[in-house]
Amino acid sequence: MPLVPSLVLVFAIVLPAMSSSTTHAETQAPPQRSIRIASMNVSLYGDSSGQVADRLQGGSDAQAIKLAKIIRAIRPDVLLLCEVDFDADGKTLNRFADLYLNAKREGSGEPISYPHRWSIPTNTGMIADADLDADGQTGLPNDAWGFGRYPGQYAMAVLSRFPIDRKNARTFQTYRWSQLPGALRPIDPQTNVPYYSDEVWQKLRLSSKNHADVPIQIPTENRTHRMLHFLVSHPTPPVFDGPEDRNGCRNHDEIRFWQEFIEHPDAEFLVDDAGVSGGLAKEEWFAIAGDLNSDPEAGDSRRSAIVNLLNSDKVHPVAPENGTHSTTTALFGTRRVRVDYVIPSANIPVVDSGVVWPEPNTPLGRCLDATDHRMVWIDIQPISDDSDSP
């Protein structure tokens, strides 16, 4: 599986009152002159490689039809999909985009075209050269760099109406966990010995899927463009482990990675897959997006990472809400939690935001069983670099 992503690739100015409540927009497209940025865990994975792509062939998969109906109603200009299979030729992503999102279908809303697409390589299902779970043998899913039953499972993809700056895209798929200063190395509480041997610890990758800086050329009000850095990841769930809390530690540090990235532009310890070091340059526009698997107020994660990120002076305080004025984005059994995010930089003019959680007896509400996550979105005002200069 290649480590360097292969890219394939999402206008709309709203009057300034920003709202984090979204009852008016849960099923509405963005205003004509704003740009909508969204993240959605679509749960498009199977039991084996190629299964999802085969299901999508023909345009009749029931789950994909429901997912497409939600996306077509909300109509994000830039969209991160979590848990969609990666394949080197982009087959799964292209079939979903072409046969479901951009295909005419009665009762499913207007088609939406995403000419710019990136199916992002992932660590999930990629077998490691080490016995990660210390059971005396190597095999999937537990000895993959990221938990996965086949290569490409649980991957991410970006769909965009606007061009991706391919030359300046960065990925951190091979970034080692031990490279992160202050990394939370899991410790067995009964023996006080590190869960991973020194040899394994020096090999372990931080990202369970990938961390990617996706520069997107956003059009502005004066017909120029401005670069938006779409910072995408899908940290491991902080559960399914033991008293050493190895997944909780990893989830924490996968989230903390982005705080380091946006706060330390000259950090030599942040080295991407091409060998380039440093975080994001000052004053750049960014939006951190993904299923981060951490609620700042509840759940099983080590919450300090997400709390610190949300409280960073580098990020905007917007907290998207659903129709009940709650910020929750997922339903796990009977428990509602906030785990899905679009976190813009503090210098971005955010004019609206929301979580798509319609009533279950509505046409869109009947699509919610396609995934246990809800789309989260923000609307931004596209201001040129020159317009906000003194």
322-360 residue pLDDT tens: 988 899 999 999 999 999 999 999 999 999 999 999 999
The token duo for 375 is 């789309």
The token duo for 277 is 């070091």
- In this model, does residue 223 exceed pLDDT 70? yes
- In this model, does residue 300 exceed pLDDT 70? yes
- What span, in angstroms and rounded, lies between the C-alpha atoms of 234 and 251? 9
Band of residue 82 on the pLDDT scale cut at 50, 70, 90 = very high
Low-confidence winner among 4-8, 27-31, 244-248, 277-281 (lowest mean pLDDT): 4-8
**What is the rounded radius of gyration, in angstroms, for the C-alpha atoms of the chain?**
20
pLDDT at 232: 99
Residue 83: name the closest of 206, 174, 261, 208 by CA: 208
Count of Cβ atoms closer than 10 Å to residue 139 Cβ:
11
- Phi first, then psi: what are they for 93, rounded to 5°? -60, -45
In the chain, where the domains are located: 35-383
Band of residue 1 on the pLDDT scale cut at 50, 70, 90 = very low
Give the model confidence (pLDDT) of 32-50 as tens digits: 679 999 999 999 999 999 9
- What span, in angstroms and rounded, lies between the C-alpha atoms of 38 and 27? 14
- What span, in angstroms and rounded, lies between the C-alpha atoms of 328 and 357? 9
Element at 308 (helix H, strand E): helix 304-310
Task: Compute the mean pLDDT over every residue in the chain, rounded to the nearest whole number.
Answer: 91
| Rounded percentage of the chain residues whose pLDDT exceeds 90 | 83
* Whether 375 contacts 74, CB under 8 Å: yes
- What span, in angstroms and rounded, lies between the C-alpha atoms of 156 and 16? 32
Any idea which fold 35-383 has?
Answer: Deoxyribonuclease I; Chain A (3.60.10)
Could you tell me the CA-to-CA distances from 109 to 55, 288, 369 in Å, in that order? Answer: 22, 28, 18
Q: Say what the pTM is.
A: 0.91
Per-state percent for the chain, helix, strand, coil, to nearest 5: 20, 25, 55
Sole residue written with tokens 């080295």: 271
Q: What does the DSSP 8-state code read for residue 344?
A: E
- The residue type found at 373 is H
Element at 66 (helix H, strand E): helix 62-74
Band of residue 386 on the pLDDT scale cut at 50, 70, 90 = low
Give the model confidence (pLDDT) of 238-281 as tens digits: 999 999 999 999 999 999 999 999 999 999 999 999 999 999 99
pLDDT at 323: 85
- What span, in angstroms and rounded, lies between the C-alpha atoms of 67 and 325? 23
Residues forming beta bridges with residue 289, ordered by sequence position: 232, 342
Residue 154: name the closest of 230, 7, 42 by CA: 42
Backbone region of residue 246 per phi and psi (left: phi > 0; alpha: psi in -120 to 50; beta: other values): alpha
- In this model, does residue 156 exceed pLDDT 60? yes
pLDDT at 32: 66
Band of residue 133 on the pLDDT scale cut at 50, 70, 90 = confident
pLDDT at 385: 66
Q: What does the DSSP 8-state code read for residue 4?
A: S
What are the counts of helices (DSSP H) followed by strands (DSSP E) for the chain? 6, 15
* Whether 42 contacts 67, CB under 8 Å: yes
Residues forming beta bridges with residue 44, ordered by sequence position: 84
- Name the CA dihedral angle for 378, 381, 382, 386, rounded to a multiple of 10 degrees: -130
- What span, in angstroms and rounded, lies between the C-alpha atoms of 80 and 232? 7
The token duo for 369 is 């069983």
Judging by DSSP bridges, how do beta strands 225-233 and 35-44 pair with one another?
A: unpaired
